[in-house]
């Protein structure tokens, strides 16, 4: 995985738990920041640290557009999206590390 390729990602607190949708130009760095977050932010407050879905994009513009679309989706659609590629809700962090 290229280190600086735009990506949209979903983190979860647990299976069917709180979801966080984000966009980044560096998926490895950004997920690490969520996992290591010592400060009081959304990830820390809700323990949203498990990478359950991600999608790489050719441009930041397309990644941002996809993120905006996903944030408007119904929760059920987001759960279906996650389960379509990650039915066990595994933490995909080791996968992106290579």
Closest CA to 52 of 85, 6, 5: 85
Q: Write down the pLDDT at residue 1.
A: 59
Q: Write down the pLDDT at residue 45.
A: 85
Per residue of the chain (98 residues), give pLDDT as tens: 556 899 999 999 999 999 999 999 999 999 999 998 767 788 888 899 999 999 999 999 999 999 999 999 999 999 999 999 999 999 999 999 98
CB crowding 2-33: b at 16 or more within 10 Å, else e: eeebbbbbbbbbeeeeebbbbbbeebbebbee
Q: Sign of the C-alpha dihedral, residues 57, 22, 11, 38? A: positive
Domain extent at residue 48: 7-97
Please report where in the chains the tokens 């979801």 appear, as a residue.
19
CATH code for the domain in which residue 54 is found = 3.40.1440.10
DSSP letter at 56 equals: E
Pairing of strands 50-56, 7-12: antiparallel
Q: Compute CA distances 78 → 4, 56, 83, whole Å.
A: 25, 17, 9
Domain count across the chain? 1
Q: Write down the pLDDT at residue 52.
A: 98
The model's pTM: 0.94
Residue 1 lies in a domain: no
Residue 2 lies in a domain: no
């Amino acid at each position: 995985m290229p280190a600086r390729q735009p990506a949209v990602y979903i983190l979860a607190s647990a299976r069917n738990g709180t979801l966080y949708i984000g966009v980044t130009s560096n998926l490895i760095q950004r997920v690490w920041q969520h996992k290591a977050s010592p400060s009081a932010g959304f990830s820390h407050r809700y323990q949203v640290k498990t990478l359950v879905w991600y999608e790489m994009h050719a441009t930041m513009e397309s990644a941002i557009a996809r993120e905006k679309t996903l944030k408007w989706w119904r929760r059920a659609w987001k759960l279906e999206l996650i389960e379509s590629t990650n039915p066990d809700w595994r933490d995909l962090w080791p996968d992106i590390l290579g």
